[in-house]
Structure 1
Amino acid sequence: MKLQWLLLIGLVFAVIIAVFAVVNVDEVPVNYVFGESEWPLILVILASALLGFLLSGVLAIMRNYQMQRKIKALQKEMAVKETLIATQQNEIGEYQKAGVVPDAQIVTSEERTKEEI
């Protein structure tokens, strides 16, 4: 449903730009850094709209790529933690079968970093 609204808004925006461009067909000077030329205003408007669309599309693709990389990294981290949880649950099950009650241990982040070093 959201995609349909986006397409509808994009279509309305494109029609508005097209009507605005067709109404403005006069020649206008376009100043470049290295020179100047006369272009029909319709081309200037359409080229500006196209460049804006392309720029926003490229930025959206880059953002999407970054988010996909972040999702993959988080999925890997989640898989590692799920494996750790499963291992710990198996250890708890073995302790319970053997009737051993291990001492409760509280591991803080400081102790964990000391053990990892």
Structure 2
Amino acid sequence: MKVQWQVIVGIIIAILIIVFGTTNMGTVDVQLLFWTVQWPLIVVILGSVVAGILMVYCFNYYKARKKKRGAK
């Protein structure tokens, strides 16, 4: 049952991100160390979301691995 709620919430969040991203189609200046590039705002938004998902996944993986080692 918990997984079903996670999937439903994930789908709702994905829809909100898509709607928010498509309404913000302008370009923005992004500074990367010494360079300045212009990217569409949707790329910046999706990149931030993907980076956040990866960080949460890595944290949960580390936490589960630590818990598994403690159980041995």
Q: Does TM, normalized by the shorter one, top 0.5?
A: yes
Residue equivalent to 2:9: 9
Question: How far, CA to CA, are the matches of 1:46 and 1:9 in structure 2?
Answer: 18
Runs of 4+ in 1 over 6 A off after TM superposition: none
Question: How far, CA to CA, are the matches of 1:68 and 1:18 in structure 2?
Answer: 37
Q: Would you say how many aligned residue pairs link Structure 1 and Structure 2?
A: 72
**TM-score (normalised: structure 2):** 0.95
Please provide the CA RMSD for this pair: 0.7
- What residue identity is the alignment partner of 1:23? T
Question: How far, CA to CA, are the matches of 1:8 and 1:71 in structure 2?
Answer: 32
| 1:48 and 2:48 correspond | yes
Question: How far, CA to CA, are the matches of 2:10 and 2:42 in structure 1?
Answer: 19
Residue equivalent to 1:38: 38
Residue equivalent to 2:61: 61
- What residue identity is the alignment partner of 2:67? M
Question: How far, CA to CA, are the matches of 1:34 and 1:65 in structure 2?
Answer: 38
- What residue identity is the alignment partner of 2:62? M
Percent identity, aligned pairs only, is 35
Matches within 5 A, 1:1-117: 1-72=1-72
**TM-score (normalised: structure 1):** 0.60
SS at match of 2:34: coil
Structure 1, gaps ≥5 residues long? 73-117
Q: Deviations over 1:74-116 (max 9, x none)?
A: xxxxxxxxxxxxxxxxxxxxxxxxxxxxxxxxxxxxxxxxxxx
After TM superposition, give the deviation of residue 59 of structure 1 in Å: 0.6
